[in-house]
């Protein structure tokens, strides 16, 4: 009646795919212990690593589980322990990891009555609490694994996208906090048709590149003309990190989720390591502390 799960950090948006694309990382990730109880309630018993609310309706994992319980007729509930490694406000899907991990674990304890898409729907309620919008581009890869596309929100339609064997991500997290809700607030509500055309060209290009293992095409498609120009202003040395990473061979990259983390994709681990080195060097120079993660995309 108890299960322990690893729940991964995720990179959402992936440059051109605002609110629709994302992929899971090998690390960092959180661990969670979920227990089934015979009372229709959710209790967050423990939270290690970061100081986040324990009241179920104020906690993203709690809210995700409550939305699942809402659809369940049985007299069951859950107790949760969260061992958090992904910093809130880092741009690598900290809230999504908690929401997704909770519902995946709960579903296992119930004998898996729900599909991954159902689980994403529950976990999205956690995202609504965290950011004001029930976006699915972090919870989808956290639940499905690998690279995912949210083809549609209404109805929810999540597609797994194959990725090439040698694709690696390097993600740097400068130690400043950007709240997703703030990073969404500053976005323009309207966009120009010419920008939309460029963006959906890139979205199609990225998906085709991933599925055909065409690394050049992946690189060309990692461009965001809508969100990045606005949000990158919040991230110190953003352009320099991108430029220097590409100089040592990165295919391309952008802001991870709503930032401040920056991700770059590379072909092969060796190149991803070089990217890691120049990213670190860049932030050493500007005097900002950071964490860096290297992960295979699979
Ligand atoms: N698509 C979301 C955003 C991801 O960019 O606001 C947040 O991690």
Q: What is the ipTM of this complex?
A: 0.99
Q: Ligand 1 pocket, 245 CB below 6 A?
A: no
Q: Ligand 1 pocket, 121 CB below 6 A?
A: no
| Mutation pick for ligand 1 pocket among 187, 258, 260, 262 (CB with most ligand atoms within 8 Å) | 258
Residue 127's pLDDT is: 96
pTM: 0.97
Residue 45's pLDDT is: 97
> Using CA positions, which residue lies closest to atom 6 of ligand 1?
258
> Using CA positions, which residue lies closest to atom 8 of ligand 1?
257
Residue 14 C-alpha to ligand 1 middle, in angstroms?
A: 10
Calpha distance 32→105 (Å, rounded): 8
Residue 99 C-alpha to ligand 1 middle, in angstroms?
A: 15
Atom of ligand 1 nearest to the CA of 10: 8
Residue 101 C-alpha to ligand 1 middle, in angstroms?
A: 18
Residue 177's pLDDT is: 85
Q: Ligand 1 pocket, 180 CB below 6 A?
A: yes
Residue 160's pLDDT is: 98
The average confidence (pLDDT) of the chain is: 97
Residue 146's pLDDT is: 98
Q: Ligand 1 pocket, 10 CB below 6 A?
A: no
Catalytic residues: 127, 180
Low-confidence ranges of the chain (pLDDT < 70): none
| Mutation pick for ligand 1 pocket among 19, 97, 132 (CB with most ligand atoms within 8 Å) | 19
> Using CA positions, which residue lies closest to atom 4 of ligand 1?
257
Q: Ligand 1 pocket, 224 CB below 6 A?
A: no
């Amino acid at each position: 009646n108890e299960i322990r799960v690893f729940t991964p950090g995720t990179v959402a948006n992936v440059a051109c795919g605002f609110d629709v694309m994302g992929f899971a990382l090998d690390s960092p990730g959180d661990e969670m212990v979920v227990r089934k109880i015979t009372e229709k309630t959710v209790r967050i018993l423990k939270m290690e690593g970061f100081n986040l609310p324990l009241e179920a309706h104020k906690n993203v994992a709690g809210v995700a589980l409550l939305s699942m319980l809402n659809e369940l007729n049985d007299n069951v509930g859950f107790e949760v322990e969260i061992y958090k490694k992904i910093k809130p406000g880092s741009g690598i899907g900290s809230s999504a990891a908690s929401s997704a991990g909770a519902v995946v674990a709960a579903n296992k304890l119930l004998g898996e009555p729900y599909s991954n898409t159902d689980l994403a729907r529950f976990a999205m309620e956690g995202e609504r609490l965290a950011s004001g919008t029930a976006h699915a581009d972090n919870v989808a890869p956290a639940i499905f694994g690998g690279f995912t596309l949210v083809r549609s929100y209404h109805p929810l339609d999540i597609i797994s996208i194959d990725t090439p064997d040698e694709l690696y991500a390097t993600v740097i997290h400068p130690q400043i906090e950007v709240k997703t809700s703030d990073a969404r607030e500053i976005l323009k509500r309207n966009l120009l048709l010419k920008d939309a055309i460029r963006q959906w060209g890139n979205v199609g290009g990225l998906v085709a590149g991933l599925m055909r293992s065409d690394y050049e095409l992946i690189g060309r498609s990692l461009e965001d003309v809508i969100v990045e120009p606005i949000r990158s202003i919040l991230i110190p040395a953003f352009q320099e990190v991108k430029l220097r990473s590409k100089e040592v061979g990165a295919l391309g990259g952008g802001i991870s989720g709503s930032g401040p983390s920056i991700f770059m994709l590379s072909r092969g681990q060796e190149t991803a390591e070089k990217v890691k080195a120049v990213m670190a060097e860049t932030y050493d120079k500007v005097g900002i502390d950071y964490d860096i993660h290297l992960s295979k995309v699979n």
